[in-house]
Structure formats: structure tokens, C-alpha cells
């Protein structure tokens, strides 16, 4: 009975200390700092992926109009301010998404699953890009306002004369090690001049590089 009494007392004391430690200001501060570090680390990788994607030699022609987007300081990169993947109607989107694993052999299931999960919502992009080209973020409402006019692209380029058109970026899906990424990007330059691409990137020596791409649709 004496041994049992000591065990019960020890367990109660341990439980109290554990609860007290979890709710202590010091522990909460550590948890907050950890969460901030995780978010910052994620954002560093996310925007490094965007930078690598836009600057890739094979993809840059999709994002350029009169000249290479990154070759002239007067050029402008126009991006929809919120991430998006369901740019087409829902049924077409699901059909295209289902093809992604087969069209991208290097894509891991973990990366694909994370991509699907993180794109269930649209997030507001931050200007954390490190590309030299100037950038502007526009809302869905502003883009729609151009398309309500007869000569909508003419109006768009009148306001953004040195732009590549308008770009849409998805949220980025990662594997657990943050060594592989999947992202969707579309760019529209005019009537019947648009493309949507799924891109796999891999991190090698702390640098993100395009591994392969799947041109999902074009007009």
C-alpha cells in the first residue's frame, strides 16, 4: 500500500508539473516562436519555388510577350493577388488534376496529396518574390472589369502596357522534407493565347529547380 501511495503521489505531481509547464508563459513563448519559424520557413520555400518557376528558361516564353519578361527593367509582372487552381469550371479542373500523377512521373504521392490539401483555399500572395522584374497584384474584380468591355485586352494593356499578361499561381504543395514541390501556374496574354501548367520542382544544394512540367491546357 505504501508503494502504491508513492506511485499515486508521483503521478499526480508529474501531471501537475506537465500541465503547469505547458501553460507557462515561457513555454507559450517557445511555441509561438516555433510556429513563426515554421511559417517563415514555409514562405521562404514557397516564394523560392515561385521565383524558380517564373525564371526557368523553358517556361519563361509562356510568361513573356514582346520580350523576355526578365530582360528589361521596364517590364511588369501582373499576378492575381490570391492563389487559385480552379481557373476552369470545376468538372474540367477535376479531370485535369486527376491526370497530374500520370503526366509527372517524378511526382511523389506525398507532394501531390499536400498540393490538393493546401489548394482547398485561396491565399493572399505577399510580395516576397526576389525577381528583378517589377510586380503588381490585381484582384479578381479588377480583372473581371476588363473582361466586361468589348476590347478587354486593349484596356488591360493600356493600363499595364509592359506586362506579360496576367498570371495565376496556386499554393505550393511540398513533400515532408521540403525537397520536392508541385505548383500550378497559368498565364493569359490575349484572346486564344493562354496556357496552364503543372510544374514539379526539386531542391538541390538549397536551390529550387524545375524537374518536369505538364501542360494541362492551352488556348
Q: Is residue 1 part of a domain?
A: no
Which pLDDT score is estimated for 159? 96
Q: Is residue 3 part of a domain?
A: no
pLDDT band at residue 74 under the 50/70/90 scheme: confident
In the predicted model, is pLDDT for residue 80 greater than 60?
yes
Q: Is residue 8 part of a domain?
A: no
- CB of 164 closer than 8 Å to CB of 74: no
**Domain residue limits at 116:** 24-218
Q: Is residue 76 part of a domain?
A: yes
- CB of 180 closer than 8 Å to CB of 202: yes
Q: Is residue 68 part of a domain?
A: yes
Domain count, the chain: 1
SS3 content of the chain, % helix, strand, coil (to 5): 45, 25, 30
Mean pLDDT, rounded, for 157-168: 95
Q: Is residue 148 part of a domain?
A: yes
DSSP state at residue 163: B
Q: Is residue 82 part of a domain?
A: yes
Q: Are strands 207-218 and 193-204 parallel, antiparallel or unpaired?
A: antiparallel
In the predicted model, is pLDDT for residue 22 greater than 80?
no
Q: Which of 68-77, 88-97, 133-142, 159-168 has the lowest mean pLDDT?
A: 88-97
Q: Which helix (H) or strand (E) holds 168?
A: strand 166-169
Q: Is residue 5 part of a domain?
A: no
Amino acid at each position: 500500500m505504501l508503494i502504491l501511495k508513492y506511485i499515486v503521489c508521483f503521478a499526480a505531481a508529474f501531471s501537475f508539473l506537465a500541465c503547469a509547464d505547458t501553460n507557462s508563459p515561457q513555454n507559450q513563448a517557445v511555441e509561438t516562436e516555433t510556429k513563426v519559424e515554421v511559417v517563415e520557413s514555409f514562405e521562404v520555400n514557397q516564394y523560392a519555388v515561385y521565383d524558380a518557376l517564373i525564371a526557368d528558361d523553358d517556361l519563361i516564353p509562356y510568361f513573356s510577350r514582346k520580350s523576355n519578361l526578365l530582360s528589361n527593367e521596364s517590364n511588369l509582372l501582373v499576378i492575381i493577388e490570391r492563389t487559385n487552381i480552379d481557373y476552369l469550371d470545376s468538372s474540367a479542373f477535376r479531370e485535369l488534376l486527376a491526370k497530374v500523377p500520370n503526366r509527372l512521373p517524378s511526382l511523389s504521392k506525398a507532394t501531390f496529396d499536400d498540393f490538393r490539401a493546401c489548394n482547398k483555399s485561396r491565399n493572399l500572395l505577399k510580395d516576397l518574390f526576389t525577381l528583378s522584374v517589377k510586380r503588381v497584384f490585381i484582384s479578381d474584380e479588377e480583372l473581371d472589369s476588363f473582361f466586361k468591355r468589348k476590347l478587354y485586352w486593349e484596356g488591360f494593356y493600356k493600363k499595364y502596357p509592359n506586362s506579360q499578361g496576367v498570371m495565376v499561381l496556386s499554393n505550393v504543395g511540398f513533400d515532408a522534407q521540403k525537397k520536392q514541390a508541385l505548383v500550378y501556374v497559368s498565364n493569359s496574354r490575349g484572346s486564344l493565347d493562354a496556357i496552364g501548367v503543372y510544374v514539379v520542382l526539386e531542391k538541390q544544394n538549397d536551390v529550387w529547380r524545375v524537374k518536369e512540367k505538364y501542360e494541362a491546357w492551352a488556348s
